[in-house]
Structures are given as C-alpha cells and as structure tokens.
Structure 1
Amino acid sequence: MPTCQNCQKQWSWKDSQKAMFQFKKGMKCPYCGVTQYQTSDSQKRTSLVGMAPLLALPIVSLFDSWTITIVIILLASLSYLAVIPFFMKLSNKEELMW
C-alpha cells in the first residue's frame, strides 16, 4: 500500500482507490492533506500491471459466447483495479514517467 512521504502513514486500500479515481496528477493524503504524486517507477509498474487484462484476450478468443468473453474481460479488469494500490509508491514531488 502507498505510504505518504510527508506524514509516513500508510494509506488504506479504500483511500488509495478513491485517490486513483479522482483523475488528477496529485493525490491528497487522507491524513495530512499534502499532495502526493506517484513515482515514475510506480507509474511504469502500474502500467505494466494494467496490461494484464490484455493477456486475457487470446484466451477469450477461444470462446464462442459473447457472454463468457465479457465476463472474462470484466473479471480481468476488476482484478487489475483491486491490486493496483499494492503497486503504488508515492513522492512529494511530481516525476516524469520517462
């Protein structure tokens, strides 16, 4: 789980999810209110983990049913959203991804 670099408190899974869905570069710490940024290494790592649902596509193409295809893609996407906070690292300064 991400840890605030200002107050050193570890964010909960729920707080991490909320921060991710705000669609802002910076995420406010729920404890001290200081804006935190995802580190460049963390951005790269979460991007790679985000490709995991794409790995399900060749498997999905083996099924003839659209229902099974949609269920597998949804499960892969939800799994991604559930584990992404465990890969996040925070910084006080905004870093470029590359």
Structure 2
Amino acid sequence: MPKCRNCGTIWTWGQTVCRLFTLGDSLTCPSCRQEQFMTMESRKKTSLFVFAAPLIMFISVAFGIDPFVSLALFLVSFLVIMGIYPFFIELTDERGPMW
C-alpha cells in the first residue's frame, strides 16, 4: 500500500482507490494533506493494467465468445484489477518525469 513520504502514513485500500479517481497527477495524503506523486517505476508497473480490457476484447472476438460472457469477463477483470492496483502504487513527494 502507498506510504506518504511526508508524514509516513500508510494509506488504506479505500483511501488509495478514492484518490485514484481524482483528476491530475498528484494524490493528496489523507492525513497531512500534502501532495504526493506516483513514482516513475510505479507508473510503469500500473500502465500494464491498461492493456487488460483490449486483450479481453481481442480474445472474445478471436474465439467467438458470447457477448454476455465477454462482458462478464470484462467486469470480473476490472474488479480484480481495481482490487490489486493499490498494492502497486509507490509515492514520492517530488513531481518526476512521466516516463
């Protein structure tokens, strides 16, 4: 789970997920209200999750899977990704390069 570089607070899973749905590149610490940023390594790791939806869609089309089964697979994969995503986040107090 992410740990604030300013105050050392370890964020809960719920706090992390709520912070991920904000716009902008900074995440605000729920304890000290200081801006935190995802590290470059963390962004690289989590960027792989973006490919899950197109991969599931490709597999569904390639193998002729029923659309409802395809939708169910998509929803399950979304829930799994949202469940594990916060564990891959590392924070820093400095804004770094995007890649």
Same fold (TM over 0.5): yes
Query: When the two structures are superposed, what TM-score results if normalisation uses the length of structure 2?
Result: 0.88
Structure 1 alignment gaps of length 5 or more: none
Aligned to 2:26: 26
> Does the 8 Å contact 1:42/1:87 carry over to 2?
yes
Identity score, percent: 30
Aligned to 1:12: 12
Cα offset, 1:44, TM superposition: 0.6
Matching of residue 3 in structure 1 with residue 3 in structure 2? yes
Aligned to 1:81: 82
RMSD value over aligned CA atoms? 1.5
Cα offset, 1:53, TM superposition: 3.8
Query: When the two structures are superposed, what TM-score results if normalisation uses the length of structure 1?
Result: 0.89
Please list every run of at least 4 consecutive aligned residues from structure 1 whose deviation after the TM superposition is greater than 2 angstroms: 49-64
Give the Cα–Cα distance (whole angstroms) in 1 for the partners of residues 3 and 74 of structure 2: 30
- The superposition leaves residues 57-76 of structure 1 with CA deviations (integer Å, 9 ceiling, x where unpaired) of 34423244211011111111
How many correspondences in the alignment? Answer: 98
> Does the 8 Å contact 1:53/1:80 carry over to 2?
no
Q: Which amino acid aligns with 2:87?
A: F
